[in-house]
């Protein structure tokens, strides 16, 4: 009976994590479109997403709460559930903490807004440096975790059929990081910093969305097909 209860609780945790991942994507991109529309003169091609929450920006507090903090918390929940679902031992491994850290880092970009001066980030500001640190804390752990998940999926029979997806997404994660790094070197992106950032964010959220869907699909499948898992 205790084993059945634990199994049911684990399945419910995975379901909540999957829903949280899907919700994070919906909340972030809906908020981005809405808040950008309410910002006079804002351009998705030339303005960084962080400018929506910068000091003095219209509706900055609301954006930081809805656009950064809420999705970040949801992503941390999704990452924690994902790592727990795939890890056969049930322990909180490095992947668990890396994905939670990524979500917390994303939320942190809303807790520490960027400071702008004459349309550019004021690099002497502790807020700007803290905002950048949170961005790094969101991106790097996520890429590392994306690769570590490959090994965990290999050890978990229920996730064997999703391993190909996980491998592809690991490569996509690197591509998303590369877009950020190469943005200044590629003319098409250097002159459109907003576009470069949105491509990078698109990859980041696409990864979580696909993995959240995998959570919602694999967990019920493993529960109902124990013999073939």
What does the pLDDT look like over 55-81, one tens digit per residue? 999 999 999 999 999 999 999 999 999
Which residues, 6+ apart, have CB-to-CB distance to 220 below 8 Å? 11
106 in any annotated domain? yes
* Average pLDDT over every residue of 114-130: 87
Give residue-wise pLDDT tens across range 167-201: 888 888 887 777 665 554 444 444 566 777 888 89
Looking at residue 4, its pLDDT comes to 44
| Of the candidates 168, 14, 215, 27, the residue with the CA atom closest to the CA atom of residue 106 | 27
3 in any annotated domain? no
8 in any annotated domain? no
pTM for the whole structure: 0.86
The whole domain housing 36 covers: 15-220
Number of domains in the chain: 1
77 within 8 A of 12, measured Cβ to Cβ? no
170 in any annotated domain? yes
10 in any annotated domain? no
Helix (H) or strand (E) holding 169: helix 163-182
**How many Å apart are CA 1 and CA 228, to the nearest integer?**
23
Give residue-wise pLDDT tens across range 32-44: 999 999 999 898 8
**Which residue(s) pair with 117 in the sheet?**
120
6 in any annotated domain? no
């Amino acid at each position: 009976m205790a084993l059945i209860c634990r199994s049911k609780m684990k399945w419910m945790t995975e379901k909540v994590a999957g829903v949280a991942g899907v919700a994070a994507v919906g909340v972030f991109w809906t908020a981005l479109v809405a808040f950008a529309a309410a910002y006079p003169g804002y351009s998705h091609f030339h303005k960084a997403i962080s400018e929506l929450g910068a000091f003095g920006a219209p509706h900055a507090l609301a954006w930081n709460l809805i656009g950064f903090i809420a999705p970040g918390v949801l992503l941390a929940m999704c990452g924690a559930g994902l790592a727990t679902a795939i890890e056969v031992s049930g322990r909180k491994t490095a992947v668990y903490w890396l994905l939670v850290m990524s979500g917390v880092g994303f939320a942190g970009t809303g807790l520490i807004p960027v400071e702008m001066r004459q349309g550019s980030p004021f690099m002497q500001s502790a807020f700007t440096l803290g905002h950048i640190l949170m961005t790094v804390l969101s991106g790097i752990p996520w890429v590392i975790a994306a690769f570590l998940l490959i090994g965990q999926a290999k050890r978990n029979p229920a996730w064997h059929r999703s391993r190909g997806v996980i491998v592809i997404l690991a490569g996509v994660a690197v591509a998303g990081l590369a877009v950020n790094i190469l943005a200044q070197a590629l003319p098409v992106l250097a002159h459109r910093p907003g576009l470069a950032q949105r491509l990078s964010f698109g990859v980041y959220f696409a990864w979580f969305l696909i993995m959240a869907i995998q959570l919602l699909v694999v967990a019920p499948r493993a529960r109902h097909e124990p013999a073939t898992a």
